[in-house]
Amino acid sequence: EAQVTQNPRYLITVTGKKLTVTCSQNMNHEYMSWYRQDPGLGLRQIYYSMNVEVTDKGDVPEGYKVSRKEKRNFPLILESPSPNQTSLYFCASSMTSGRDETQYFGPGTRLLVL
């Protein structure tokens, strides 16, 4: 089954404790991205990756890091989480060529930073 998976689905942590949220897709997609969703602010893109070893900032990259060492994985790293990073996070992937640009979203990771 074609899907995007994220882990963990729920996470409670404390300020300053490094964490990683994993994202994996099994559709051989080149494009992957991370979003955060906050009440009243909709979906905001954090980082995106056009392919392996190619990443770039989205609209709200501060406080986050990403890596793309393999095509299928795109982890989101919070080196020193702060309470303002409490949010619902979504990973997404899609093809980049032709008209098939539908994004497939993961189930979301709800993060609480105390």
Partner 1 sequence: LAKTTQPISMDSYEGQEVNITCSHNNIATNDYITWYQQFPSQGPRFIIQGYKTKVTNEVASLFIPADRKSSTLSLPRVSLSDTAVYYCLVGFKAAGNKLTFGGGTRVLVKP
The single residue among 43, 79, 82, 84 that binds partner 1, judged by CB under 8 A, is 43
Q: What Cα–Cα distance (Å) separates residue 110 from each residue in 29, 37, 64?
A: 24, 10, 16
Q: Which residues contact 62 (CB under 8 A, 6 or more apart)?
A: none
| φ and ψ at residue 85, rounded to 5 degrees | -100, 5
Task: Tell me, by CB under 8 A, how many residues bind partner 1.
Answer: 29
Query: How does DSSP assign 19-60, residue by residue?
Result: EEEEEEESS--SEEEEEEEETTTEEEEEEEEEETTEEEE-S-
Answer yes or no whether residue 4 interacts with partner 1 by CB under 8 A: yes
Amino acid letter, 9 = R
Under rule CB under 8 A, residue 70 binds partner 1:
no
Segment contacting partner 1 by CB under 8 A, of 18-26, 43-51, 65-73, 77-85:
43-51
44 touching partner 1, by CB under 8 A:
yes
Binding track, positions 85-114, relative to partner 1; x by CB under 8 A: ---x-x-x-x-x--x-xxxxxxxx-x----
Q: What are phi and psi of 86, to 5 degrees?
A: -65, 120
- Select from 58, 71, 72, 77 the one that contacts partner 1 (CB under 8 A): 58
Which residues bind to partner 1, rule: CB under 8 A? 4, 33, 35, 41-45, 48, 50, 56-59, 88, 90, 92, 94, 96, 99, 101-108, 110
